[in-house]
């Protein structure tokens, strides 16, 4: 790649005044392979002194939301701002200093070598003491689901420490209001974007996770996210499996009724006949929905291509204006 490149490190922030200075103090001002390294924070409606801390620490770009819109929206706002600022590579990290900033050169190395366009920092999940067993299990489960849906091999899908190229940033779009981590990997896999992971270190816990307010809440949101992933990105498989199961169950029950009917005991199993008819009907309708959902998914991919081409034209014109 060209050695004259701009790297922007973005940090989504929501009431991070207590930890932001610590995280920024660890960030590099120069990364080998890049002509410029800049910092950008997205203030997601903070009520504390997050912006003042950022200014005092010399942050180059500060983007503000008038009210809290969630991590996923803040991430996308950051990508848009980084693209407008002319970033060739964007790194996303957290304001709580969870990730070891010394690993940033390793994070961008596959991009600079041309081996990947999307790099995920893989944390040593099992060795992180402040992660509960349930959280570790859900992290592993979420990564497994993402690998199935995206056909990638990313062991730590929920990791927010990642580097992406300008091309990838122009392609990504997040539907979830909760988090961006899983969806973006799936999109990369579906669009045949070269994605890899590299081992990264983590620092001591400075504050409780904002996403994991309670184990119950985390479990509910994780399950909902996993189902949503399959419905959006693997609709034919999701509805096809559901429809096949319902239809098969109805077929088995109907076969059972016919067995009794031909043996002269059909009058005592009318309930089975009704249940079989309902299940067969539901199964058939669900399979039809699978085909309709597959057509919608194909339409979504076309819209993503249109959005990408529009973004390329828009951001390229911005770059020309800034020159």
Q: What is the mean pLDDT of residues 110-119?
A: 95
The answer to whether residues 179 and 218 touch, using CB atoms and an 8 Å cutoff, is: no
Q: Are residues 170 and 275 in the same domain?
A: no
Q: Using 50, 70 and 90 to split pLDDT, how confident is the model at 82?
A: very high
Mean pLDDT over the full length of the chain = 86
Query: In the structure encoding, which two tokens stand for residue 318, read together?
Result: 């911005």
Q: Would you say residue 260 lies in a domain?
A: yes
**Least confident segment among 8-12, 13-17, 128-132:** 128-132
Q: Tens of pLDDT along 16-64?
A: 999 999 999 999 999 999 999 999 999 999 999 999 999 999 999 999 9
Is the residue at 102 inside a domain? yes
pLDDT over 80 at 225, yes or no = no
CATH of the domain at 222: 3.90.550.10
Q: Is the pLDDT of residue 311 over 90?
A: no
Question: Among residues 233, 250, 274, which one ends one of the domains?
Answer: 233
124-164: pLDDT as tens digits: 877 676 677 777 777 777 788 778 777 888 888 888 999 99
Same domain, 256 and 125: no
Residue 320 lies in a domain: no
Write down which residue in 233, 265, 293 finishes a domain: 233
Pick 13 or 149 by higher pLDDT.
13
Same domain, 226 and 247: no
Same domain for 148 and 288? no
In this structure, the answer to whether residues 252 and 210 fall within a common structural domain is no
Regarding whether 287 and 193 lie in a shared domain, the answer is no
- Which of 183, 199, 233 finishes a domain? 233
pLDDT of residue 307: 82
Highest mean pLDDT among 120-124, 220-224, 225-229, 307-311: 120-124
Instruction: Identify whether residues 192 and 76 lie together within a single domain.
Output: yes
- Give the pLDDT of residue 78: 95
pLDDT of 319 reads 60
- Same domain? 212 vs 241: no
Residue 312 resides in a domain: no
Given pLDDT bands bounded at 50, 70 and 90, which one contains residue 2? Answer: very low
**In the prediction, which pLDDT does 130 show?**
62
Q: How many structural domains compose the chain?
A: 2
Residues ≥6 apart with Cβ < 8 Å to 218: 134, 135, 138, 211, 212
- Asked if residue 54 and residue 125 are part of one domain, the reply reads yes
- pLDDT at residue 320 greater than cutoff 60: no
For 211, the domain range is: 6-233
Give the tens place of pLDDT for each residue, 252-291: 999 988 888 888 776 777 888 899 999 999 999 999 999 9
- Contacts of 223-230 spanning 24+ positions with Cβ under 8 A: 225/142, 225/176, 225/178, 225/179, 225/182, 226/141, 226/142, 226/145, 228/175, 228/176, 229/145, 229/146, 229/149, 229/182, 229/183, 229/186, 230/145, 230/149
Identify the pLDDT of residue 317.
67
**pLDDT at residue 80 above 60?**
yes
Could you tell me if 229 and 239 lie in one domain?
Answer: no
**Average pLDDT over every residue of 2-23:** 89
Does 210 have pLDDT greater than 70? no
pLDDT at 1 over 70: no
């Amino acid at each position: 790649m060209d050695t004259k490149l701009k790297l922007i490190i973005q940090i989504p922030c929501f009431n991070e005044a207590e930890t932001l200075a610590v995280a920024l103090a660890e960030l590099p001002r120069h990364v080998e392979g890049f002509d410029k390294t800049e910092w950008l924070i997205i203030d997601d409606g903070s009520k504390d002194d997050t912006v003042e801390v950022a200014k005092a620490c010399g942050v180059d770009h500060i983007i503000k939301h008038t009210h809290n819109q969630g991590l996923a929206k803040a991430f996308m706002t950051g990508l848009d701002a980084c693209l407008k600022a002319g970033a060739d590579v964007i790194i996303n990290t957290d304001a709580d200093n969870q990730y070891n900033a010394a690993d940033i050169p390793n994070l961008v190395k596959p991009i600079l070598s041309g081996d990947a366009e999307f790099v995920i920092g893989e944390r040593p999940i099992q060795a992180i003491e402040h992660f509960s067993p349930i959280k570790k299990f859900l992290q592993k489960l979420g990564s497994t689901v993402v690998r199935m849906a995206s056909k990638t091999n990313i062991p730590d899908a929920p990791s927010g420490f990642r580097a992406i190229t300008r091309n990838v940033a122009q392609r990504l779009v997040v539907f979830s209001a909760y988090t961006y981590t899983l969806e973006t990997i799936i999109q990369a896999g579906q669009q045949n974007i070269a994605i890899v992971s590299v081992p990264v270190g983590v620092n001591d816990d400075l504050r409780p996770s904002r996403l994991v307010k309670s184990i119950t809440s985390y479990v509910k949101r994780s399950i909902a996210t996993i189902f949503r992933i399959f419905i959006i990105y693997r609709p034919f498989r999701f509805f096809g499996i559901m429809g096949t199961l319902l239809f098969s169950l109805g077929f088995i029950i109907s076969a059972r009724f016919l067995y009794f009917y031909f043996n002269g005991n059909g009058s005592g199993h009318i309930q089975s006949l009704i249940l079989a008819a309902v299940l067969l009907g539901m199964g058939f309708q669900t399979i039809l929905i699978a085909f309709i959902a597959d057509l919608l998914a194909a339409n979504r991919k076309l819209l993503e291509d249109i959005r990408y081409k529009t973004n390329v034209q828009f951001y390229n014109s911005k770059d020309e204006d800034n020159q």
